[in-house]
Structure 1
Amino acid sequence: MVRGKTEVRRIENAASRQVTFSKRRNGLLKKAYELSVLCDAEVALIVFSSRGKLWEFSSSSRKLLGETLGTCSAAELHELGNQLEESLRQIRKRKQCILAEQIAELREKEKSLLKENKLLHEKFKGGNMLHLNAAEVQSMEVNTQLMIGRPGTL
């Protein structure tokens, strides 16, 4: 059975989002482990949940997590610091892109809602709906095309 391509976007349902996070996080940790074993690569993975909970994986060196730094030389510490700074720069750059995209989407949604609001306002104003009192509104007939009985018996 072939699965269709999944559209990558935020999952709105909180329960589904949590289940997906758990499954994908576990899969990501497994892939990081496999990459470190199969390719003899040093892999460090840090995952923060939306609530700030931390999951981490490190293949052979836990230096990226701040542990066992006492045995490092000054050059190793300097290189580690540079790696962390570069990682933070990339993370911040990606975060800015995501936030800019979300802001643009919200501005478009705002424009659309303002336009819709204006049209509705003009519609009600043009139809003198704003000048009707409560009794007049209640006495208005509404054609719903609802029928009682079997269809097609008219």
Structure 2
Amino acid sequence: MDATVSSMFDGDAFLFYCLEASGYVYSEPVSSESNLVTVYPTRENLPHFPNIDFAAFLISHGKLQSVKHQSYCHDHIIAESAEPMTVVYGSIIRIQHQASGRYLAVTPTNSAWLDKGNSEATLFRLVPSHQEKGWGDDVS
């Protein structure tokens, strides 16, 4: 599959807009002892935040690995990659909060928080919102 300008790549940063709550997924500054995520009310086409870093999330391919292995991959393997890995529908991903470095996690009771750990609660499958897209299709 050829990567296009509209492709999503491992390590890209995104903002997540919640239609029902009319706002963006947001987390308070790290110094605030809270690891909960909330929705910051603002218009979809006009995001305005006290600090946009607390609304930005990084997408990465999700795998359960030891912390030592993650550090090695981040510092050596990923930095040396000539071609970024394309994220497609069906991919298992992890969503990392850019400001805190913690990962978005969800419990079976549907509560969300930011987690330092490496657990199954931090793994998500990228699912298309339209029937015409399927597993392996480019996210665009």
Normalised to the residue count of structure 2, the TM-score between the two structures is 0.18
More helix by share: 1
When Rg is computed on C-alpha atoms for both structures, the one with the higher figure is 1
More strand by share: 2
Normalised to the residue count of structure 1, the TM-score between the two structures is 0.17
Higher relative CO (Cα under 8 Å, sequence separation at least 6) belongs to 2
